[in-house]
Structure 1
Amino acid sequence: SGRVGESRRRAPSRPRRRSFEARVGVANAERAMPDRAKARPDDARGREPSTAAEDAASSSGRVGGSAFATAAAVAAAAGLLCAASPSSSSSSSARRGPRSGPDESGECEPFVVHGGGALTRELVARCPSLRRDAKYHPPRWLRNAHAQTLAGYARTLTIFLKYDRQIVRCADGGQVGLDWLVRARFGRGGGPPPPPPPPSSKTRRRTVTADDIPPARDLPPTAPVFIMLHGINGGSHEGPTKWAIAVAASRGWRCVALNLRGCNGVKLASPKVYCAASSEDVRAAVDASRARFPRAPVLLAGYSLGTYVIGTYLAEEDSKPKPPGPDGDDGWPGVAAAVLVSCPMDPHSSHRSLSDPERPAGMMYNGAIASELRRYFARHRKNVAEHPDVEDDAFELSSMRTIRAFEESLIVKTHGFKDVEEYYAYFSPARIIPSIRTPTLYLSARDDPFTASDSVEVERVIRGTAHVALAHVAKGGHVAFLERGVGLFGPCWTDRVLGEFLAAALEERSEDARAAHEGA
């Protein structure tokens, strides 16, 4: 991290570029644009490179130290050598129909699936990037899914945020880390470069109480709270997390990155580890937000494994009655909407494909993620060993070479599932989506190397619901979706859609509230 700061100081003469806000676009400026201009494929938003230099970055000394970043680095070369040419995913795209496949220029039209709910239709219609005349433009040099995935995580190096960490205790005895965005400077603006970050960490590791959390500058207590969740062994330091937070902050939302138990410097305070089927960590984060800002709606977003965790939380919470507000009137606003990026829709087939000898790139992803899980369990071995269902021989970590090996020996045992199949079934989108009542948008790419098959079954389920939509494009890789003309130095396609959908949900709630007030 120090080297990154030094390289930036050595190049003070680099030409001045547009500021981050000018390129991302704040909500007021975006609303002032004509609808037709918003939907143009050559929309100026997100098309020019930006430096996006901010004061400090992650809560980890590592840069890009997640399992998926490691896996992408290992498998990108394999993908390039395994017939993953620019047309390698064309057969997958063709199965979906003409709207999802790229044309000769590489442009992809979004393919949107939703049920008959009027609210979902309205929210999708308010997203310029999802309209029929909108296009996603992947970079010409990133037509390969594995190259996209690798490049997506390289965005960690192009944006720097400063957080304050709040440690929150979960109901089951565990704890999570909430990294609240403190300060962000976008673009150089002609001023001196920021000081280099500390060599060991880019987040102040002090524990703060709810009253100590510094609110974002000039934000009212009713400002929406945006909670971003990472993937396997990730955290607030990752590029996908930081760029999504930057986009949310530009819209005037209070932002926080959720670090799951045991991840990114958070201690594992109980024998139970994080997993895709456990919603306790998200619940603790939402409850902490509600305690601090009881009049602020919550917005949720996550990618990869985080999509499973948030989806499970929504399915569980949406079946409960709305909690009363502090004054006993209309109650806490609750979770207004959620966006889930790069969710493998069929966990059973996805994990089977990662173990398929005929898919060497998939096996390399599997091995790289297993390596990260080995480090995780080695670091927290003492805590996990205290679980009564974990056997003494479960910690033969050196022999565990696949994700499933960890799931069978440790994850399933600490969460009370009979076997891995029951575990997968619990958080499978096909099971949880019918229970979701919160407006939710899934975003995915047809060439995602972690998605083994078509999401036909999930699409059928979504068509029968009123609150969930799925939008996918032919290209994008896993948690990447880089755009032409922006590359690593700006928001990706899913960042833009995320901001549009969540903003539309907030606007819809405001309109409903005004209508109810006028009717009364």
Structure 2
Amino acid sequence: MPIIKSHYNPPLIFKNGHFSTIHSGVYRSVSGVYQKRERITLSDQDFIDLDWSFAAFHQNVSKLIVILHGLEGNAQRAYVKGTAKIFNRNGYDAVAMNFRSCSGELNRLFRSYNAGATEDLREVIEHILTNYPHYNHIVLKGFSLGGNMMLKYLGEPIRVPKEIKAAIAISVPCQLEGSLKQMRRVENYLYSRMFITHLQEKLKRKHEAFPSLIKLEDIKKANSMFLFDNLYTSKAHGYKDAQDYYDKCSSKQFIPYIKIPTLLINAKNDSFLSKCCFPIEEAEQNEHFYLEMPKYGGHVGFFDRNDVYYNEKRALNFATLA
């Protein structure tokens, strides 16, 4: 489809991409979302925790939004709860998927999650359709790494269930290597250090559980995203190395095969994204894929008034029209 013209115009201070990113990720809080946890056992005997919230003042709800968080996120992040809140208020139940090891408890296996782990999303969708058959209108929304996973899922050759009607992706590094190069830039140093610190701490816990599979000295040396992915992410999930992981899991190559209405919102001032993370040609050639590139928004920022963020309003509008 043609590129969508964006009308997002935040207050002056939020036109700074870094301020928008940090404010949304660190200072925003969302109240009024009450979540109920469900643990499901996967086919490999690991587990994933789902956090449900329900439509206000609605009975016999048939609509559901499935929300996927970003790198080292969880279902309690403000951007997840903000989405759940606006959809709950408009007749949708919401279920937020915590990736393996992201729900406050280390998962059972040596592997965890990655940007291309669509097998986990597929099992969650199958669980919902089997155990909650009253949901006949399902919308997906993925943020950052979770958005990459979602786009890859939608474009893979395995059939997408007919109950999935639309999808919205926010701030997605759909070309993983390009995003990795961006994260090496000086302006992104603090973000990179934060991610690496979290990931190394988790990997130390993996060492305690699986001492024969990974060494502490190797964990300490993995002090960049590339080295971490080369040491753990790729090997634990069946890829040759980090480059093989990036090549096979980048969602950009799957976008041409998406066959349901899908909206991607990537801000032009998102410091996490390289030029190749803006799939303009793919959008122009796929009638089901819509690309919006606001001038502002940072990474999962999109501040708007009344504590309802722009991407949340756009997601509801897109889901309604789909």
TM-score (norm 1): 0.58
Query: Where does 1:422-461 land on structure 2 (aligned, <5 Å)?
Result: 422-453=244-275, 455=277, 458-461=279-282
- Equivalent residue, structure 2, for 1:320: 158
SS in 1 for 2:200: helix
Question: For the Cα contact (< 8 Å) 1:394–1:410, is it kept in 2?
Answer: no
Deviation at residue 182 of structure 1 after TM alignment = 5.2
Asked whether the 8 Å contact 1:268–1:383 carries over to 2, the reply is no
Provide the residue aligned with 1:19 in structure 2.
Answer: none
Residues 176 and 421 of structure 1: CA distance in aligned 2, closer, same or farther (over 3 Å): same
Residues 42-78 of structure 1 deviation map (CA, whole Å, 9 limit, x = unaligned) = xxxxxxxxxxxxxxxxxxxxxxxxxxxxxxxxxxxxx
Contact persistence 1:164–1:180 (CA under 8 A):
yes
- Partner residue in 2 for 1:509: none
1:381 partner letter: H
Amino acid at match of 2:25: Y
- For 1:137, the equivalent position in structure 2 comes to 9
* Offset at residue 322 of structure 1 (A): 6.5
**Aligned to 1:498, what secondary structure does the other structure show?**
helix
Provide the residue aligned with 2:308 in structure 1: 491
Matches of residues 263-278 of structure 1 in structure 2 within 5 Å? 263-278=102-117
1:336 is aligned, of 160, 165, 174, to 165
Alpha-carbon offset, residue 257 of structure 1:
1.0
| 1:148 and 2:1 aligned | no
Contact 1:346 1:429 in 2 (8 A): yes
Aligned: 1:285 with 2:124: yes
Does the 8 Å contact 2:182/2:271 carry over to 1? no
Q: CA deviation at 1:159?
A: 2.4
Aligned to 1:500: 317
Distance in structure 1 (CA, Å) of the matches to 2:275 and 2:216 = 32
Match of 2:295 among 474, 478, 497: 474
Counterpart amino acid of 1:360? V
Q: Distance in 2 between matches of 1:384 and 1:343?
A: 32
Q: Percent identity?
A: 23
For 2:275, what is the secondary structure of its paired residue? coil
User: SS where residue 173 of structure 1 aligns?
Assistant: coil
Kept after mapping to 1: 8 A contact 2:267/2:293: yes
Contact 2:207 2:216 in 1 (8 A): no
Indicate conservation of the 8 Å contact 1:156/1:242, yes or no: no
Change (3 A) 1:383 1:463: farther
Q: What displacement does 1:468 show?
A: 1.1
* Distance apart, 1:275 and its partner CA: 0.3
Q: Secondary structure at the match of 2:244?
A: helix
CA distance in 1, matches of 2:28, 2:125: 26
1:307 paired residue number: 147
Q: Given the superposition, is the C-alpha separation of residues 315 and 339 from structure 1 closer, same or farther in structure 2, using an over 3 Å criterion?
A: same
Q: Assess if the C-alpha contact under 8 Å between 1:370 and 1:402 holds in 2.
A: yes
- Aligned CA distance change for structure 1 residues 322 and 347 (closer, same or farther; 3 Å): closer
> Structure 1's 322 and 282: CA in aligned 2 closer, same or farther, altered over 3 A?
closer
The residue aligned with 2:285 is 464
| Cα 1:384/1:163, change in 2 over 3 Å | farther
Distance 1:490 1:498 in 2: 15
Secondary structure class of the residue paired with 2:215: helix
* 1:234-253 equivalent positions in 2, closer than 5 A: 234-253=73-92
How far does the alpha carbon of each residue in 1:69-125 deviate from its partner, in whole angstroms, 9 at most, with x for none? Answer: xxxxxxxxxxxxxxxxxxxxxxxxxxxxxxxxxxxxxxxxxxx845xxxxxxxxxxx
Q: For residues 351-397 of structure 1, what are the alpha-carbon distances to aligned partners after superposition, in whole Å with 9 as ceiling and x for unaligned? A: 11222xxx3222222121101111222233344557xxx4x437632
Q: Deviations over 1:319-370 (max 9, x none)?
A: 33566xxxxxxxxx42111100001232212211222xxx322222212110
Q: Give the letter aligned to residue 296 of structure 2.
A: K
2:33 match:
161
Consecutive unaligned residues of structure 1, counting only runs of 5 or more, are: 1-111, 115-129, 184-215, 324-332, 506-520
Q: Deviations over 1:416-438 (max 9, x none)?
A: 11121221111223211122222
Change (3 A) 1:384 1:259: farther
For residues 161-219 of structure 1, what are the alpha-carbon distances to aligned partners after superposition, in whole Å with 9 as ceiling and x for unaligned? 22111001122332111001158xxxxxxxxxxxxxxxxxxxxxxxxxxxxxxxx7533
| Residues in 2 aligned to 1:321 and 1:353: alpha-carbon distance in whole angstroms | 33
**CA 1:219/1:385 → structure 2, altered by over 3 Å: closer, same or farther?**
farther
CA offsets, 1:464-510, max 9 Å, x none? 22221111111110001112xx2xx51111111000001111xxxxx
Instruction: Please provide the CA RMSD for this pair.
Output: 2.2
Q: What letter corresponds to residue 218 of structure 2 in structure 1?
A: E
CA–CA separation in structure 2 for the residues paired with 1:339 and 1:404 = 28
* TM-score normalized with structure 2 length: 0.91
User: Structure 1's 400 and 321: CA in aligned 2 closer, same or farther, altered over 3 A?
Assistant: closer
**Cα separation, 1, equivalents of 2:196 and 2:32:** 28
2:44 paired residue among 151, 160, 172: 172
1:499–1:175 distance in 2 versus 1, CA, 3 Å: same
Q: CA deviation at 1:254?
A: 0.8
Deviation string for 1:289-337 (max 9, x for gaps)?
1123224222110111111111222223xx33566xxxxxxxxx42111
Q: Does 1:360 align with 2:189?
A: no
Change (3 A) 1:453 1:226: same
State the secondary structure of the residue aligned to 1:473: coil
Q: 2:230 aligns with which of 375, 387, 408?
A: 408
Q: Which has the larger radius of gyration?
A: 1
Q: Distance in 2 between the 1:269 and 1:342 partners?
A: 30
Q: Is residue 256 from structure 1 mapped to residue 130 from structure 2 by the alignment? A: no
